[in-house]
Structures are given as C-alpha cells and as structure tokens.
Homo-oligomer: A and B are copies of this chain.
Amino acid sequence: MPSAVKEKPLPARRNSQYNKKLSSILKAASEIIARHGFEGASIRQVAAKAGIGLSGIYYYFKSKDELLFAIQENTFSTLAESLEKRLEAVSTARERLKAVLDNHFHFFLNNMDDLKVCVHEIESLSGKYYKDILKIRRKYFGLVRNIVAENISSPAEFNDDLVSLYLFGSLNWIYMWYDPRRNPDMGVLSDQLLEIFLHGIKAT
C-alpha cells in the first residue's frame, strides 16, 4: 500500500502580498545582478535592496540559481508574448520584421536590467534551469528566424539562421551603449536597423 502522504494543498497564493514581495525581490535581483554580474551579486545585497532579511529570500526562492532562472523565465516569456501580440496586427513580411525590432527595442527600454541579465547571464545557469531557458530561447529564435526568412530575397546567398544571429547580435548589444539621454528614441533606432538589414547603408 502506498503511503498515504497527506497532499499539501498549494497555499492560496492569490494573496497579493506574497506576489508583491516576490516581484520586488525579482526586481531587486535584476538590478543587483545587472550591475555586478551573477557571480558577483550576493543574496545579501538583493535582500537589502528588496527590504527583507537574508533568510527571507529563501522563503520565496530555494536557491540563488532558482532566482536567476525565475528572472530569465519571467523576462523571456513576457518578451515572446509581447511579440506575438504585435504580430497579430500586421501582415506583410516587412511589417513583421519591423514588429520584431520594435518589440525588442521597446521592451529593452522598459526592462533594461532584466534584458541585460538575460543576455549576459545565460551561461550562469546549469542543468535543468539551463535546459528550460534554452527551450524558451529556441522557440523565440525560431519565431524570429521565420520572419527573417520571409524577408530574404536570395536564400541561396543568405541563410536565415546566420542572418538572424547577426540581427540578434545587434539587438543584444544595445545594453552596452544605449543611453536614453544621448541617443535617439528607440523608434528611430528600430527604423534604422530595419533599413540596414533590408537594404544596407549603401542603398539610396
């Protein structure tokens, strides 16, 4: 007879206080990790910024790794979801690629720390955490790659995989230099980069 372990019913976590605190920890962790890197960030710093005790963190997350995983999963899911919503409103190949760029640029502007952590700390994950995030990334990448493919006029010359990787490079690098006070609006950047990838800087 299987031991009749009493099933612990998931606590009613509609409790808004719980989710508020959880979100504030995620936000604090993003800031600290974005500034110091994952290995350089300490749970103590995160706890202090979130206004909680050190051990309090472990009530919400079972380890530092899980905390990083939660940031990346949360951020990447939101990014993908946001893109799919944008794609519903457009039809042409160019518009769809434009939606990819707009989505990425605007999401970045509103979630700089989160996106930096996602771009910069992929390899800080390991085991199941790494695999699960990789799966999400792959799905997002495939979505973008198909849209890139629609926009390639000579598939013999340009492979959609590689072109997508070049594009992701340009997109993922912006956290290294973009400063809203010195640089143009994200809309301008999005237009420019789209035009470059479609027609280059030599086109009329």
Contact = CB atoms under 8 A, between A and B. Distances in A.
Interface in A18-37: 36-37
B163 A173 contact: no
A142 B184 CA distance: 20
Interface in A171-204: 171-174, 176-177, 183-184, 189, 192-193, 195-204
Contacts of A45: none
A15 interface: no
Contact of A199 (B173, B183, B199): B199
Interface stretch (A69-77, A128-136, A147-155): A147-155
Interface of A is mostly: helix
Contacts of A171: 169
Number of identical monomers bound together in the oligomeric complex: 2
A7 interface: no
B120 A196 contact: no
A187 B202 CA distance: 21
Contact of A196 (B36, B163, B168): B163
A173 B176 CA distance: 12
A165 interface: yes
A124 B124 CA distance: 16
A174 B166 CA distance: 8
A166 B158 contact: no
A170 interface: yes
A162 interface: yes
A153 B202 contact: yes
Contacts of A192: 157-159, 162-163, 166
Contacts of A124: 37, 40
A198 B172 CA distance: 21
Q: Which 3 A-B pairs have the closest CB atoms?
A: A169-B173, A39-B39, A169-B170
